[in-house]
Amino acid sequence: MKLVIAFLCLLFYSPAFAAEAQSTVAGYPAEEALRLGASMYLHGVLPSGKPMKAIIQGNIEKSGSAIACVNCHQHSGLGTYDLWSFVLPISGPKLYSPLQTMNDIPGNSMKRAMFAYPRAAYTDESLANALMHGLDPSGRILNEPMPRFLLDENATKIMAFYLKNLSKEISPGVTEDEIRFATILTDDVSPSDRDALLLPMKAYIHDEWNARLSVLAEKSSAAWYVKNKPASGKTYLKASLDVWELKGPADTWGKQLDAYYAQKPVFAILGGIAPGKWAPIHDFCEKNKIPALFPFTGLPVISETGWYTLYFSKGFYQEGEAAAKYLAHVSKLPPGKKVVQIFRNSDEGSALARGFAETWKKLGKPSLTDRIVAPAEKTGKDFWKKLSAAYPNSVILIWLGPADLSGLDTLAKPGNKATLFLSSTMIAGALTSIPDKVRDFTFITWPTRLPNDELYTKTIVTNWMQMKKIPVTNMTISSKVFFLTRLLSKTLMDLRGDFYRDFLLDIIDYGDEQPTSSVTYPLLSFHQGQRYASTGCYVVTVTKGEKPQVVRKSDWIIN
């Protein structure tokens, strides 16, 4: 997935500007030069607004985003690796210093072990030579995937200035001895849900991560530790967790978050629960460049330009997407089949409808009809009878809760060849609310593991909580916290003292797929720039009777 960043002007913290002595670069004010450099680095766009051009592998000309530096060197500029390649860091502190040993390479031991060729520090002159001619400071030819850019003098100066400031200052929320985190709760979160989030999170931080530091400290004089510690001298820090509690309506949350952050900045936000749309918190994190790792929300921000918030999934929107793809690719509707969406104008109903409509349009399908149920309007037998008469033999997407399904069996009249779709999340798992008479032609979007598929991972989480003597008040929430803490532990180990927020996100982006680590989702995967870890959904039906069984009708539909 290509990385697209909208907040270019917010890429650097103010200390970076203060630290850079230059007031102008290539005739531009320093702040503007950084913005232009960001456009080159992230999107392959020159200061003139035209696409950058480069030659790759000797004779292939490419331009624009295809040759953006971020594709290989990552958002932080600290490089990456996989089974086939190793990419050196090019952030200012690394680029303008010699790389002599594996300890000069950020990241985990696997990445550092791939470092094979020491090099001298770059200068502005040798950097220009590398960008345009593919030669390092010693004259060694860089690997062929490194583009040979076609840049003029001013563009080269702007790129050099940008790289000098990239990952230059340790991120806020980190002190000499501590890395600070926060989690977010609103004042209307129930005590049981609050405990389900806070108890396992605090148990991890205090009883696992911080307790482990004393063991790591004992290795401080060991030969292994001296050989492998980062060049900065920092390795692992004690973690702390603040609880940011938001009160009142959502339109006041931004100011409350600003106040918390001004009082005590944090490195990242872990989890969090808030009713309704997550957008105010998402916007706060984008504005302040704070990673927010896996908040528990069904209403995330659906965007291709956000960078700092990682979500478990697209929530309700994702189910709408899946329904559209199933109807388009699996069921293959006959020409002329009408498609109607029924939903109330709630956040949840609107997200489902938008997910379907936007995906349906992208797939080139004909227009559909929306039937919005008014707030005070009641459904029931008469409602469904009128709907059936107005839209006979149609596909009807019913994005409503279980209370609105009463009388739905009216659609089972002879001769009506309707196809119904429901959301399992919207009906909150109340499968018996679906009348027997319509179950033969009712399909349900199912964005989580199928029943009984979660038992293995659930046992792991349950055993861990029992060991920590934590009561299970909401397994869905606690299991997500468990996953988050396992991921955080590995990520903090891989940071190894390079406490840059963007590097934290880069590490997660290049993490392994997680097929067994989540009770809720069958697969969590991470790729460059991917902000939604679970990207699929099943489509199922249910059997008749008082104990309906789920019957899978599709593979995991990738959205």
Residue 242 and residue 208 share a domain: yes
Which of 165, 188, 216 terminates a domain? The answer is 165
Residue 341 and residue 306 share a domain: no
DSSP-assigned states of every residue in 28-81: EEHHHHHHHHHHHHHH-B-TTSSBPEEEETTTEEEEGGGG-THHHH-TTS--EE
Q: How, if at all, do strands 148-149 and 178-186 pair?
A: unpaired
Which residues span the domain enclosing 418? Answer: 316-446+538-558
Asked whether residue 527 is domain-assigned, the answer is no
Asked whether residue 95 is domain-assigned, the answer is yes
Residue 157 and residue 93 share a domain: yes
Asked whether residue 276 is domain-assigned, the answer is yes
Residue 204 and residue 153 share a domain: no
Total structural domains in the chain? 3
Q: CA 404, 384, 442, 353: dihedral to nearest 10 degrees?
A: -70
pLDDT (0 to 100) of residue 216: 64
Residue 310's beta-bridge partner residues?
293
Structure tokens at 353: 């409808």
Half-sphere exposure of 417 (CA within 13 A, CB side): 4
The CA-CA-CA angle for residues 152, 61, 32, to 5°, reads: 35
Residue 298 and residue 408 share a domain: no
| Strand, coil or helix: 311 | strand
Which of 114, 134, 165 terminates a domain? The answer is 165
Q: Where do we find the tokens 């872990």?
A: 270
pLDDT (0 to 100) of residue 282: 97
CA distance 162 to 50: 18
Asked whether residue 522 is domain-assigned, the answer is no
pLDDT (0 to 100) of residue 231: 47
pLDDT (0 to 100) of residue 83: 63
Asked whether residue 45 is domain-assigned, the answer is yes
Residue 52 and residue 117 share a domain: yes
Asked whether residue 270 is domain-assigned, the answer is yes
Asked whether residue 223 is domain-assigned, the answer is yes
CATH number at residue 422: 3.40.50.2300
Asked whether residue 284 is domain-assigned, the answer is yes
Residue 396 and residue 306 share a domain: no
pLDDT, one tens digit per residue, over 374-413 is 999 999 999 999 999 999 899 999 999 999 999 999 998 8
pLDDT (0 to 100) of residue 519: 93
Residue 295 and residue 193 share a domain: yes
Residue 153 and residue 28 share a domain: yes
pLDDT, one tens digit per residue, over 450-502 is 999 999 999 999 999 999 999 999 999 999 999 999 999 999 999 988 999 99
- Which segments in the chain show pLDDT lower than 50? 1-20, 220-227, 231-232
Model confidence pTM above 0.85: yes
Which of 117, 133, 165 terminates a domain? The answer is 165
Please count the other Cβ atoms lying within 10 Å of the Cβ belonging to residue 271: 24
Residue 473 and residue 419 share a domain: no
Could you tell me which residues come within 8 angstroms of residue 550 by beta carbon, excluding any fewer than 6 positions away?
431, 446, 450, 451, 540, 541, 542
Residue 261 and residue 156 share a domain: no
Q: Where do we find the tokens 């390479």?
A: 105
Residue 477 and residue 397 share a domain: no
